Structures are given as C-alpha cells and as structure tokens.
Amino acid sequence: MPPETRRIWPAPAKINLFLHIVGRRADGYHLLQTVFQFVDLCDELRLRPRDDDQIRLPRPLPGVPPQQDLCVRAAQALRAHTGCRLGVDIELSKRIPMGGGLGGGSSDAATTLLALNRLWQLDLPRDELAAIGLALGADVPVFVGGRAAWAEGVGDRLTPIELDEPWYLIVDPGVAVATAGVFGHPKLTRHTPPITISQFRSGSTGNDCLAVVSALYPQIDAAYRWLARFGQAHLSGTGGCLFVRFDARQAADVAQAQLPAPWRGWVVRGLNHHPLLAD
Ligand SMILES: C[C@](O)(CO)[C@H](O)COP(=O)(O)OP(=O)(O)OC[C@H]1O[C@@H](n2ccc(N)nc2=O)[C@H](O)[C@@H]1O
Ligand SMILES: Nc1ncnc2c1ncn2[C@@H]1O[C@H](COP(=O)(O)OP(=O)(O)OP(=O)(O)O)[C@@H](O)[C@H]1O
C-alpha cells in the first residue's frame, strides 16, 4: 500500500483577526473585509481510496448526517467536476469545535479536496480546487489557497499577507452561534467604511458581529470580558470562539490555567502557511 493512503491529512482552524461588514449583495449575502490566519489546532483526516464509487464516512459527526458532512460533499463535488469514478473511505477526527467561527467544516472540506486531488491522481491546480470549494462554503478557498490572507467579497477575494505568528489563547464559551441569525439581525452594523491593508496593520479594527453576538449570547459576552483581562479580545467570524494574542507561549499557558469551567481553551500558534501548502 503506498504510504499516502496511510497518511494523516491535517485540517487547521482559522481565526479572523478582524471582520468588517462593508455592504450587502442583492442575494442577501454580506460583503466583508477580514484577515484569515491559520492556527495549529487541527482536525485530522485519513482517506483510503476505493475502487468502487462509494464515498463513505463510517463514523459520522454527532448531529451531522453523512450526506451533509462537508468532507463527503467535497469528495462528491470533486468527482462531479472531474468525472472520476473512484470512491473513498473518510475517517475524521474532530478537534476544532463545531459552529464556533473557527472554520472547521470548511477546512475539512479543503483538506479533502487537496488530499483526493493527490490520491485520485487528478492533478487539478489549486485555483480550480478553490472554485469547487467556494460552492461548499465561503471560507473553503482560503484553506485551499494555503496562505494567510486579506479577504474581501464574501471572503473569496484573497490577497496573501505575511503576519506575525504569535501565540493565541482561543476560548470556546460552548455556545453554538447561528451564523444566519447574526447576519440577519436588524441591529447588525452593515456599512463600515472599507479600510486598506495598511490601516489594518496600524490597528483600530474590530469585529462588526461582536455587538449583536454579545447581546444574543450572554455567555459569549462573559467570556469576552474575562479574556479582555489579558489583552485585546477578539471574536472569530460570527463566534462563539474568542481569542487574545500573546507574544510568549508561557503567558498564554498562565492565562489558560485560569480559564473558568465549563469554557474550553486552547493555546495555539498563528500560522501564515497551511500545513499542506508545501505538498
Ligand atoms: C463570517 C465568516 O465566519 C468569516 O470567516 C464566514 O464567512 C461564515 O461562513 P460560514 O459559517 O460557512 O457561513 P455560511 O454557512 O456560508 O452562511 C450561513 C448564513 O450566513 C449568512 N451569510 C454568510 C456569509 C456572508 N458573507 N454573508 C451572509 O449573509 C447567509 O444568510 C448564510 O446563509
Ligand atoms: N466536517 C464537518 N465539520 C464540522 N461541521 C460540519 C462538517 N460538515 C458539516 N458541518 C456542519 O457545518 C456547521 C458549521 O461548521 P463549522 O465548524 O465549520 O462552523 P464555523 O466554525 O462556525 O464556520 P465559520 O468560521 O466558517 O463560520 C456545523 O454545525 C455542522 O452542522
């Protein structure tokens, strides 16, 4: 058996270092400005190609029927796009909290596309994989592209960006945020004036979803206030995960040790490159 079929394929989480909503499209989707950075909190996939046309996920995630799982949908989309007749057994070890604004589902989809492109010997270029991924979710292209990015549009117009790679403490207050409910909220700030990359680099940026999310979910508001003791706290995506940056790992560990139960926390490293970028 070739070693690639026994390999663990990582799917990292992302954080949004800031998120501004600068407009709304005719179809209701919001136009964003954001910066995505990867972090070394990863889901793990094992993929074994099959000679028949079955796409199987023997251990589905709780609450996610296999046909809705983003790995399965990514494999199906890749087969539909290429006419490939092979199948795959997918084993997914989930570490990234679901529905927390860390992009875990999108990352799983992206890793599935990147890995099957190799295992099924399709040889599609990354931009073609990213276009297939965009139909599965707005955050899939940045994971396929593999570089930390300044993003506009619905998050699909990407410009690679080099950032510090500090430590972060990510906190999950354990509340599943309904993304559509946040974007549909009447009090959401929707017309923040666009900024430039250099304005982002000089600070003064936040997350336009924070006010609505804090009002809707008191646990997220409480976690935000707790985290703000250690530095500038941020909401990732539409939440509910929050993060604060640290220049030294030890300081992040000290903060994590004080995390009140039942919140969960991870000390992670910011990454400008996806672990599969060099593949
Ligand atoms: C905001 C981000 O977290 C930034 O990373 C993501 O773009 C959100 O992506 P996601 O969780 O995959 O969200 P989706 O499942 O695509 O969208 C859920 C719902 O949120 C709304 N939505 C989402 C993204 C966007 N740019 N504008 C929207 O209005 C739409 O009503 C959509 O039906
Ligand atoms: N492989 C998967 N991993 C996680 N969620 C999945 C997966 N497949 C489908 N889903 C569904 O997608 C939903 C959102 O998952 P995800 O963890 O990507 O959200 P998120 O982190 O809030 O994403 P974003 O940052 O893009 O808003 C889940 O609640 C689940 O129903």
Mean pLDDT of 235-261: 97
Q: Which two tokens stand for residue 254?
A: 């000290």
Q: What is the pLDDT, as a whole number, of residue 46?
A: 98
Secondary structure E strands in 94-241 = 149-152, 157-160, 167-172, 234-235
Binding residues for ATP: 97-107
Class of domain 3-160: alpha beta
Q: Any idea which residues carry the catalytic annotation?
A: 14, 139
- pLDDT of 1 over the 60 cut: no
Mean pLDDT of 260-277: 97
30-54 pLDDT, tens digit each: 999 999 999 999 999 999 999 999 9
Pocket, ligand 2, Cβ cutoff 6 A: 61, 64, 68-71, 98-106, 108, 139, 179, 237-238
Secondary structure E strands in 69-156 = 87-93, 149-152
Distance (Å) from CA 81 to ligand 2 centroid: 23
82-107 pLDDT, tens digit each: 999 999 999 999 999 999 999 999 99
**Rounded Cα–Cα distance for residues 94 and 61 (Å):** 8
Task: For residue 182, give the ligand 1 atom closest to its CA.
Answer: 20
Q: Which two tokens stand for residue 80?
A: 């539909």
171-204 pLDDT, tens digit each: 999 999 999 999 999 999 999 999 999 999 998 6
Distance (Å) from CA 9 to ligand 1 centroid: 25
Where is pLDDT greater, at 205 or 78? 78
**Rounded Cα–Cα distance for residues 172 and 268 (Å):** 13
Pocket, ligand 1, Cβ cutoff 6 A: 16, 28-30, 32, 34, 101, 106, 137-139, 154-155, 179-180, 183, 237-238
**Rounded Cα–Cα distance for residues 14 and 9 (Å):** 16
Instruction: Please list the residue range(s) of the chain that carry CATH number 3.30.230.10.
Output: 3-160
ipTM over 0.90: yes
What is the pTM (predicted TM-score) of this model?
Answer: 0.96
Q: What is the pLDDT, as a whole number, of residue 204?
A: 67
Looking only at the bridges linking them, the beta strands covering 242-246 and 234-235 are: antiparallel
Task: For residue 106, give the ligand 1 atom closest to its CA.
Answer: 12
At 111 the three-state DSSP class reads: helix
**Mean pLDDT score across all residues of the chain:** 96
Instruction: Please list the residue range(s) of the chain that carry CATH number 3.30.70.890.
Output: 167-271
Superfamily name and number for 167-271: GHMP kinase, C-terminal domain (3.30.70.890)
**Rounded Cα–Cα distance for residues 166 and 249 (Å):** 8
